DNA sequence: CTCTCACTTTACGTTTACGTAAACGTAAGG
DNA sequence: CCTTACGTTTACGTAAACGTAAAGTGAGAG
């Protein structure tokens, strides 16, 4: 076994455009996320090499975007997943960040639920109105 | 009873800065929403006069913002509440809009719930870590 | 060797959602 | 009459999140 050989199987990697296609983003966007510190792919020559770790982070990024978070906010959020090596003061900070975010998410949860109630009521009204006009086909 | 006298009690009105303070916005922002067609206050001379209807719409606007909608998206959403006088083709359009929005909101609901699960797990890990270090005071 | 293709960097452009400054109107108070 | 307070319009400025064009690099095909 040659020195420095990988212990685990060779990890699967992705190019930037593979990631772009998978997540329906442009390479530009993915590079932008790197500029903002959300991704840190290694380089092979000058080319970026992404691993399944970047894949996972991109999934979290997309979820954050669907939730309306800013890129900076998503970065903070991603940092929460990197708890391993933190010291106690940093830990306290992370804990507060996590709890803040939980609070706003619980507000968002209520907002979504209420909006769904509203919209379904509207939907009912419209369907009703169309029914009275006998225009409910299609 | 004089001609043209209001049947109901005189409706309560608000100035732009009253609204601004109540919703923690700037007057600039409220005028911007008017430019974008989200609010249409009547004028008294050159001053804007807002009613409780504008108040209600602003509440919906703020909720939309918390949900990460764009201003244009919020406008479309507000239009859904104006179903009364629509014709059938317009009704069909509204129905589709409402259903589309319901779909994305249900996705958002799942996202919020999953993110809450994630964050609470992180919170648990951090609390645990701090406990082992005996640093859970304060 | 040339061409193509995918990737790279640099840098200016664009949209959204307001901020901010300038200049003015108007009613109330001293 | 002057100031103060609040309102107005007009218009340029700005931060965020990319789009887009220009120009260069490196590997492989013909």
Cβ(B87)–Cβ(B46) below 8 Å: no
Domain A1-69 falls under CATH 1.10.630.10:
no
Query: Nucleotide C18: nearest residue by CA–C1'?
Result: B29
Q: Report the residue of chain A nearest B82, measured CA to CA.
A: A122
**What's the pLDDT score for residue A5?**
47
Lowest mean pLDDT among A24-38, A114-128, B41-55, B121-135: B121-135
Is the CB of A63 within 7 Å of strand D? no
Cβ(A68)–Cβ(B67) below 8 Å: yes
pLDDT band per the 50, 70, 90 thresholds, residue B16: very high
**What's the pLDDT score for residue A1?**
47
Q: What is the pLDDT of residues A51-109, one digit of tens each?
A: 999 999 999 999 999 999 999 999 999 999 887 777 888 888 888 999 999 999 999 99
**What's the pLDDT score for residue A137?**
61
Is the CB of A29 within 7 Å of strand C? no
B26 CA, C15 C1': Å apart:
22
Average of per-residue pLDDT values in chain A: 89
3-state secondary structure of A136: coil
Q: How many C-beta atoms surround the C-beta of residue A24 within 10 A?
A: 8
Lowest mean pLDDT among B75-79, B113-117, B130-134: B130-134
Residues 28-87 of B with CB under 7 A from strand D: 28, 31, 46-48
Q: How many C-beta atoms surround the C-beta of residue A94 within 10 A?
A: 23
Cβ(B95)–Cβ(A126) below 8 Å: yes
CATH code for the part of the protein at B1-82: 1.10.1660.10
B58, pLDDT greater than 90: yes
3-state secondary structure of A10: coil
**What's the pLDDT score for residue A138?**
55
**What's the pLDDT score for residue B24?**
97
A130, pLDDT greater than 60: yes
Query: Measuring CA to CA, how many Å separate B85 from each of A37, A126, B90?
Result: 50, 11, 10
Q: What is the mean pLDDT of residues B51-60?
A: 97
Beta bridge partners of B14: B50
Token pair for residue A116?
């769904």
Q: Which residues of A touch B82 (CB under 8 A)?
A: none
**What's the pLDDT score for residue A26?**
97
**Domain spans of chain B?**
1-82, 88-138
Measured CA to C1', what is the nucleotide nearest A46? C8
Cβ(B68)–Cβ(A68) below 8 Å: yes
pLDDT band per the 50, 70, 90 thresholds, residue B10: low
- Token pair 């999953």 is found at B114
Measured CA to C1', what is the nucleotide nearest A36? D17
Measured CA to C1', what is the nucleotide nearest A61? D17
Q: Is any Cβ of chain B less than 8 angstroms from the Cβ of A103?
A: no
Torsion sign over Cα A102, A105, A111, A113? negative
**What's the pLDDT score for residue A105?**
96
Closest CA to B60 of A70, A118, A105: A118
């Amino acid at each position: 076994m040659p020195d420095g050989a990988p212990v685990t199987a060779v990890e699967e990697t992705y190019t930037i455009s593979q990631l772009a296609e998978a997540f329906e983003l442009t390479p530009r966007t993915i590079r932008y996320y790197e500029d903002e510190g959300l991704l840190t792919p290694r380089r092979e020559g000058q080319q970026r090499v992404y691993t399944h770790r970047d894949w996972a982070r991109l999934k979290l990024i997309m979820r954050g975007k669907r939730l309306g978070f800013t890129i900076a906010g998503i970065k903070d959020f991603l940092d929460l997943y990197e708890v391993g090596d933190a010291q106690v003061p940093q830990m306290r900070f992370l804990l507060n960040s996590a709890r803040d975010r939980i609070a706003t998410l619980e507000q968002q949860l209520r907002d979504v639920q209420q909006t769904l109630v509203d919209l379904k009521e509207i939907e009912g009204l419209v369907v009703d109105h169309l029914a009275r006009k006998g225009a409910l086909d299609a």
